[in-house]
């Protein structure tokens, strides 16, 4: 049986994971317990007003964060349309804020060092995309399993994907970051997977762990503990 403190449970159910969201959530929880304590032991009107003002301020910050996340999620959907070729950046001329954010994302460079192997490089890129995209599973046909440490930080990540899934994901990354695809097709990518000396990489690879609708799925696992690349 697992037990949670009340404050710990409030943190566990928080949906957003950026630093600002964590700080606001902690402040809201702190304010909640202060008010709860004052209600139990009694307090004067001035103290109540002070706590109420702090709570209202934090509540407004939380609402602004919610709006920012909705905006970024909507922009990400438009970015996917540009990458797929169904829209162009010029279609957003009448939406300057959206266009500015789209240009920022399109000019963004991969947040990882490029190793010698192109597959490892793109797997690392997928990890970064998973961290930044709220709808990762809707964009990529890749199942993700993760474990976290005691601080609720990402500790290990696993991708379950077929060679075809991986090839399509790499195509998406190549379009986003305007890079040339080194793999002509899934057959070439599959042969390259077999040629990697996985023991000397920071990834583990298990071939054909399951079959889904005739598609052989592989397992790619990376430990993020003490990782300087990500």
Q: Which pLDDT score is estimated for 44?
A: 57
pLDDT score recorded for residue 209: 92
pLDDT score of 230 = 41
Other residues' Cβ atoms within 10 Å of the Cβ of residue 64 = 12
- For residue 83 the two structure tokens come to 């990458």
Q: Tokens for 215? A: 């598609």
Give pLDDT tens digits for 144-188. 999 988 878 889 999 999 999 999 999 998 888 877 788 889 999
User: Is residue 189 a contact partner of residue 167, using CB atoms and an 8 Å limit?
Assistant: yes
The SS3 assignment for 57 reads helix
pTM over 0.85: no
Divide the 230 residues of the chain into consecutive groups of 10 and give the mean pLDDT of each group. Answer: 50 54 64 57 57 70 75 78 77 85 72 68 91 83 90 89 94 84 90 90 92 91 66
Binning the chain into helix, strand and coil, the percentages to the nearest 5 are 55, 15, 30
Query: 10 Å Cβ neighbour count for 189?
Result: 20
Predicted pLDDT of residue 13:
45
The residue extents of the domains of the chain are 6-74, 112-223
Q: Return the pLDDT at 119.
A: 92
């Amino acid at each position: 049986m697992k037990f949670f403190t009340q404050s710990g449970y409030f943190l566990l159910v928080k949906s957003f994971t950026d630093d600002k969201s964590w700080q606001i959530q902690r402040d809201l929880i702190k304010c909640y317990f202060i008010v709860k304590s004052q209600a139990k032991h009694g307090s004067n009107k001035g103290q109540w007003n002070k706590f109420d003002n702090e709570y209202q301020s934090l509540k407004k910050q939380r609402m602004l964060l919610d709006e920012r996340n909705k905006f970024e999620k909507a922009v990400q959907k438009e970015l996917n349309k540009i990458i797929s070729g169904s829209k162009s950046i010029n279609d957003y001329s009448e939406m300057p804020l959206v266009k500015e954010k789209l240009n920022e994302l399109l000019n963004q460079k991969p947040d990882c060092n490029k190793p010698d192997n192109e597959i490892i490089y793109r797997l690392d890129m997928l990890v970064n995309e998973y961290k930044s995209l709220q709808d990762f599973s809707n964009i990529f046909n890749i199942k993700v399993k993760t474990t976290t440490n005691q601080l609720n930080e990402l500790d290990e990540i696993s991708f379950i994907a077929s060679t075809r899934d991986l090839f399509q994901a790499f195509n998406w990354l190549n379009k986003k970051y305007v890079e040339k695809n080194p793999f002509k097709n899934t057959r070439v990518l599959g042969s390259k997977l077999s040629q990697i000396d996985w023991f000397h990489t920071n990834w583990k690879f298990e071939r054909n762990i399951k079959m889904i609708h005739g598609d052989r799925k592989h397992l790619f696992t990376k430990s993020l503990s003490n990782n300087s690349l990500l």
